[in-house]
Amino acid sequence: MKIIVSHPSIAPHIKQTVVAYHKAGWLKYFYTAFFEHPKYSLSNFLSRFGSLKSLISRRKFHELPIEKFISRPFPELLRSFSARKINPLVTDRVWEWAELGFDKWVASSLLKNEIDIVHTYEHAALATLQMAVKLNIFTVYEQSSQHHLSFLRMANKQFSCYPDLNSKATDLLINKKAKRRNKRRDEELSIADLIICNSTFTKKTLTDAGVNPERISVVPLGFPPVNRAYLERKKEDKCFVFMYAGNQSISKGSHLLYEAWRKCNFPPEVAKLVLIGKMNLPEKTRENLPGNVSISNNIPHSELMELYKTADVFLLPTLGDGFGMVVTEAMSNGVPVIATTNCCGPDIITHMKDGWIIPPDDVDALIEQMRWCITHESDLVHFKNASIKKASEWQWSDYRNGLLNLINEKWLQSKKKQFV
List, for residues 12-49, the tens digit of each pLDDT value. Answer: 999 999 999 999 999 999 999 999 999 999 999 988 88
State the average pLDDT for the chain: 91
Q: What is the pLDDT of residue 21?
A: 98
Same domain, 240 and 320: yes
* pLDDT value, residue 170: 67
- Of 82, 115, 95, the closest CA to residue 4 belongs to 115
pLDDT confidence tier of residue 203, bands split at 50, 70 and 90: very high
| Interatomic CA distance for residues 355 and 352, integer angstroms | 6
167-179 tens-digit pLDDT:
766 666 667 778 8
Kindly state the average pLDDT of the residues 203-224. 97
What pTM did the predictor assign? 0.92
The answer on 307 and 405 residing in a single domain is no
Question: Residue 238's pLDDT is what?
Answer: 81
**Which 8-state DSSP code applies to residue 338?**
E
Instruction: State yes or no: pLDDT of 222 exceeds 90.
Output: yes
Residues 307 and 211 in one domain: no
Tens-place pLDDT, residues 363-402:
999 999 999 999 999 999 999 999 999 999 999 999 999 9
Are residues 199 and 333 located together in one domain of the fold? no
Model pLDDT, residue 132: 97
261 and 192 fall within a common domain: no
| 402 and 380 within one domain | no
Give the count of domains, the chain.
2
Residues 299 and 210 in one domain: no
pLDDT for position 235: 60
Shared domain for 211 and 356, answered yes or no, is no
- What is 99-158 written as a DSSP string? HHHHHHHHHHHGGG---SEEEEETTS-HHHHHHHHHTT-EEEEEE-S--HHHHHHHHHHH
Q: Which domain holds residue 127?
A: 3-222+396-418
DSSP letter (8 states) at residue 36? B
CATH number for 360: 3.40.50.2000
d(CA 170, CA 154): 13
Please tell me whether residues 175 and 252 are part of one structural domain: no
Residues 195 and 239 in one domain: no
Q: For residue 331, what pLDDT band results from cuts at 50, 70 and 90? A: very high
More confident residue, 152 or 68: 68
Do 117 and 232 lie in one domain? The reply is no
Q: What is the pLDDT of residues 91-123, one digit of tens each?
A: 778 878 889 999 999 999 999 889 999 999 988
270 pLDDT above the threshold of 60: yes
Order of strands across the sheet that contains 292-296: 292-296, 271-276, 240-245, 313-316, 337-340, 355-358
| Residues 304 and 245 reside in one and the same domain | yes
